[in-house]
Structure 1
Amino acid sequence: MNTSGNTIFISGGSAGIGLAIAKKLSAAGNKIIINGRNEARLQNALKDLNNTIAIPGDLADKTDRTRIVKELNEKHPEVNIIINNAGIAFLNDLTDPTANSSEIAAQEMNTNYIAVIDFTELMLKQLLQHKNAAIINITSIAAFRGNPYGPTYAASKAALHNYTEGLRDKLAENDNLNVFEVFPPLVNTEFSAAIGGANGIPPAEVADELLVALAKNQFEVPVGESKKYYTAIQEAFIKINN
């Protein structure tokens, strides 16, 4: 698909992977709309971006989500790409009776999964009006395998992965709207600091891989260490079906 001349909405676009993607796509000649909950952080991010505006709000909140969609429909009908990047994660010890694991899981599932489904559904009509449109979901290496540190976060990303595959299959006959999925490994961001993010790859590497994938219409985009898991799963799937 075209990698320039688009109008792109990026949730969680004021920091980390979202900001890196915004910088890369802005430099490639696209108009960018970044979203986030923190107004000050959004304004700070705008200083490093060209041809970019910000829409503050919490997409995990139904009221905010509806307002943001209304604003995009009415003021920015040219939006033809949405990048569902915003997410939350918590350390969650499933063996700790005081951890409130189910409440943590509910928050993660709402932000990382339910909100994405609802926002995407609300934006579908607008996206389908364009000939070069895309939905890009940022999942995680955690979608392939859970871990003892953030098991409920991993579960929410696995759910998003399966939803993304189902949505892609449903839209398979529509040549104008493509569904992409990006699988970052551990990335060095504030978001991942609690689980050793300093040892991760730079967020710019995720953005670079995404831009290449968009140009090639490569709908599944494993990055870094995620490529090992992705390749192994694909090989096993082929073996089972032959």
Structure 2
Amino acid sequence: MKTNGNTILITGGGSGIGFEIAKEFSENNHVILTGRTDKKLLEAASQLQNVTTVTMDVTDEKDIEQLAEYLASTFPKLNVLINNAGMAYAYDMTVPGIDAHQKAFEEINTNYLAVIRLTEKLLPLLGNQQEAAIVNVSSVGAFVPGKILSTYSASKAALHSYTQTLRLSLANSGISVFELMPPLVNTEFSKEIGGEHGIHPQVVAQDLMNAFIDDNFEIHVGQTADLYKLHLSSPSDALAVMNNFLGS
């Protein structure tokens, strides 16, 4: 996949991993950042070049419709979709009144269903390009779940499964499908689960850039690679390592 001259849409691009991906790519590509907060998007854009911002909510069907129409008319050469927007809750499912169902609903809606809706809407536009890519940002939790991140991990496992079958379905279409699978990353998003001990989000962005260059479609960033290998040899050991690390 080429790394310059692209028109790239990044959902949840105002901070964290999304912002670092934008920073990595924006010098030689045009980047469109989406997010729910004007202020955060404008702050991000002020630090970058070749950036357009769109305030919207990926879980809102009307917002998705409007975004798809806007992109088709304003950015008809859009050729990269990076589904990065995410939602996570860290909690103990056994605590009375924790409302795990509602938390799981929000996570599944944001991390999985919204990805399917946006991807489906943009497939015709991506398919018009000579070279195109879809990047789904999942997690090491797709392989090895954390007890305090049980429903989040489940949503990422669903995204992993969907991404694999999407890749098969688009094999002869000219659209490459990448899956970016970070471990714990030091962002505001992960602060509640000890994110300060995680890797810098710039490492994730650089690994995506390298994956584009090498056509490496399943990207195991940092500790994800180690846990994946352990998971293949001993799922129970991998589960123990993950949950000891999270203190759960």
Instruction: With the length of structure 2 as denominator, give the TM-score of the two structures.
Output: 0.92
Correspondence 1:203 to 2:201: yes
Equivalent in the alignment of 1:240: none
Equivalent in the alignment of 2:225: 227
Aligned-partner Cα distance in 1 for 2:172–2:34? 30
Match of 1:181 among 174, 179, 182: 179
Aligned-partner Cα distance in 1 for 2:36–2:103? 19
- Contact preservation (8 Å) 2:85, 2:111: yes
- Contact preservation (8 Å) 1:14, 1:35: yes
- After TM superposition, give the deviation of residue 229 of structure 1 in Å: 2.6
Correspondence 1:15 to 2:53: no
- Contact preservation (8 Å) 2:35, 2:41: yes
Cα deviation 1:5-52 (Å, max 9, x = unaligned): 00000000000000000000012x000000000000000001111011
- After TM superposition, give the deviation of residue 231 of structure 1 in Å: 3.4
Aligned-partner Cα distance in 2 for 1:7–1:32? 6
For residue 138 of structure 1, what is the amino acid of its counterpart? V
Equivalent in the alignment of 1:99: 98
Q: How does 1:21-32 map to 2 (within 5 A)?
A: 21-27=21-27, 29-32=28-31
Equivalent in the alignment of 2:4: 4
Equivalent in the alignment of 1:112: 111
- After TM superposition, give the deviation of residue 72 of structure 1 in Å: 0.8
Aligned-partner Cα distance in 2 for 1:234–1:126? 38
For residue 18 of structure 1, what is the amino acid of its counterpart? G
Correspondence 1:90 to 2:89: yes
Aligned-partner Cα distance in 1 for 2:227–2:96? 32
- Contact preservation (8 Å) 1:139, 1:183: yes
Match of 2:214 among 213, 216, 226: 216
What's the C-alpha RMSD, in Å, of the aligned pairs? 1.2
For residue 218 of structure 1, what is the amino acid of its counterpart? N
Q: What are structure 2's unaligned runs of at least 5 residues?
A: 235-248
Instruction: With the length of structure 1 as denominator, give the TM-score of the two structures.
Output: 0.94
Q: What are structure 1's unaligned runs of at least 5 residues?
A: 237-242
Equivalent in the alignment of 1:143: 142
SS of the equivalent of 1:191 reads helix
- After TM superposition, give the deviation of residue 73 of structure 1 in Å: 1.2
